[in-house]
Structure 1
Amino acid sequence: MRLSVNDLACERGERRIFQGVSFVLESGEALVITGRNGAGKSTLLDLLAGRLTPAGGKILWEGAGERTLAECLHYVGHRDALKSALTAEENLTFARDFLGHPAMKPGEALDAVGLAHAARLPVAYLSAGQRRRVALARLLVAERPLWLLDEPTSALDTASQETLRLLLEKHREAGGMIAATTHSPLFLRDAKEIRIERVIRSSARVDAEHGEAGEAP
């Protein structure tokens, strides 16, 4: 599979957020997206997820047969998107049934993130870090090759961050792909990186391995 992004630009409220973003992501690869607050990191993930329409450029998804890009991705944003009244297991069961292409059972996914003991607890009773781990466990209950992660280590302690890193590397070893925004090192092996910065120039580019994307003033 291959995700190709060429000269991507985004505008919100008649304001150009960024422009000239280009990269290629192949099976087994990871892309780390960095930049200051407000530079457009989360917006880039929204474009990839189809939640926003680009102001310019192209997003091309190849090698997945008849499955569209939307059908092949997981998105974990700043908000955990969990139902507080449901248990951790019930939240994952709903996600598995809704997303299709089931993979791990909910109990197995919770065990993988160190929350087997909390399977039957309502999410409202869990700490911020535990809720974040439940949200990340959604990645495991439905098979989707592209993982879009917005600050995935948010609220996680050191041990949980290492658990996440191992899960991400295992996903890549199976041919999966990852695009993640972060302010903290993710320590992913051979990850590509782009940094979105504000520049005065009217356009900028990012090469396939490393570079800077421009944000118009």
Structure 2
Amino acid sequence: MDLVVEDLAIARGGIPVLEGLSFALGPGEALVLRGPNGIGKTTLLRTLAGLQPPLAGRVSLDRERMAYAAHADGLKATLSVTENLAFWARLHGLRDIAPALAAFALDPLAERAAGQLSAGQKRRLGLARLMVTGRPVWVLDEPTVSLDREAVAMFAEAVRAHLAGGGLALMATHIDLGIEARVLELAPFRAVPRAARDGFDEAFL
């Protein structure tokens, strides 16, 4: 298994949000996180990415094998589409950016500065970065934000190809991508407030 989470507890702003969370994900598998806004999907992904420590539990993940895509697209506005992708490719020891350009229909925009792209075009470029990292584990936070239906289909196809090549994907999304994936509902893992855990009666407040 490439990703194993055991009895994980996480917090946002010092307040526990999820606890007792366990799952495993292996090559060729995708897992979609579901739950209402504020339940802790982003916090969970940030914890898996190593951007914040867990309260408890264990995450078995070689983060050198992981590519994390958050809400920000991580682009240099003054660099062109090609220059942005080439920068990330060189950073990860790769050179060929042609497949990433083609996968997200970016060839017509190749020489345009990232700062001149629409929100959807920026998102496509941000997601294309995943393909030039060469990393097998994709951790994605609402990856389809700002994408139209055609671009969502491009992304879904990129994920399918990634999985077919032995990669794995963990995504927080409300969109049905038409990808064979397990779904993990986070509501059952919502952290119990300390007052309720201690039997405290809020009626006395």
TM-score (norm 2): 0.90
- Counterparts of 1:123-162 in structure 2, within 5 Å, are 123-162=114-153
* Separation in 1, partners of 2:43, 2:175: 18
Contact 1:194 1:213 in 2 (8 A): no
1:205 paired residue number: none
Contact 1:31 1:178 in 2 (8 A): yes
* Separation in 1, partners of 2:27, 2:69: 19
Q: Does 1:114 align with 2:90?
A: no
Letter in 2 for 1:99: H
* Separation in 2, partners of 1:159, 1:14: 40
Match of 2:105, SS state, is: coil
2:186 paired residue number: 196
Match of 2:190, SS state, is: strand
Match of 1:18, SS state, is: strand
The number of residue pairs the alignment matches comes to 193
Which digits, 9 at most, give the CA deviation of each residue in 1:8-49, with x for residues without a partner? 111233311211111010110000001111111011111111
* Separation in 2, partners of 1:36, 1:12: 15
Root mean square deviation of aligned Cα: 1.3
Contact 1:4 1:23 in 2 (8 A): yes
TM-score (norm 1): 0.85
Contact 1:39 1:215 in 2 (8 A): no
2:13 paired residue number: 13
Contact 1:147 1:177 in 2 (8 A): yes
Report the Cα offset of residue 107 of structure 1: 3.5
1:41 paired residue number: 41
Report the Cα offset of residue 3 of structure 1: 1.0
Instruction: Flag as ranges the 4+ runs of structure 1 deviating above 4 A.
Output: none
* Separation in 2, partners of 1:99, 1:17: 34
Match of 1:215, SS state, is: coil
Contact 1:18 1:213 in 2 (8 A): yes
Report the Cα offset of residue 112 of structure 1: 1.4
Structure with greater proportional strand content: 1
Structure exhibiting the larger radius of gyration computed from Cα positions:
2
Letter in 2 for 1:174: G
Report the Cα offset of residue 99 of structure 1: 2.7
Report the Cα offset of residue 196 of structure 1: 1.7
Structure with greater proportional helix content: 2
Report the Cα offset of residue 81 of structure 1: 1.0
* Separation in 2, partners of 1:12, 1:124: 32
Which digits, 9 at most, give the CA deviation of each residue in 1:67-111, with x for residues without a partner? xx12101111111111111111111111112233x2x62243112
Which digits, 9 at most, give the CA deviation of each residue in 1:113-150, with x for residues without a partner? 11101011001111100000000111111210000011
* Separation in 1, partners of 2:142, 2:73: 11
Contact 1:89 1:107 in 2 (8 A): no
Contact 2:4 2:24 in 1 (8 A): yes
Contact 1:21 1:214 in 2 (8 A): no
Q: 1:99 aligns with which of 92, 99, 105?
A: 92
Contact 1:196 1:215 in 2 (8 A): no
2:64 paired residue number: 71
Letter in 2 for 1:78: H
1:54 paired residue number: 54
Letter in 2 for 1:31: L
Q: Percent identity?
A: 40
What stretches of structure 2 of length at least 5 have no aligned partner? Answer: 194-205
* Separation in 2, partners of 1:134, 1:148: 16
Report the Cα offset of residue 192 of structure 1: 1.2
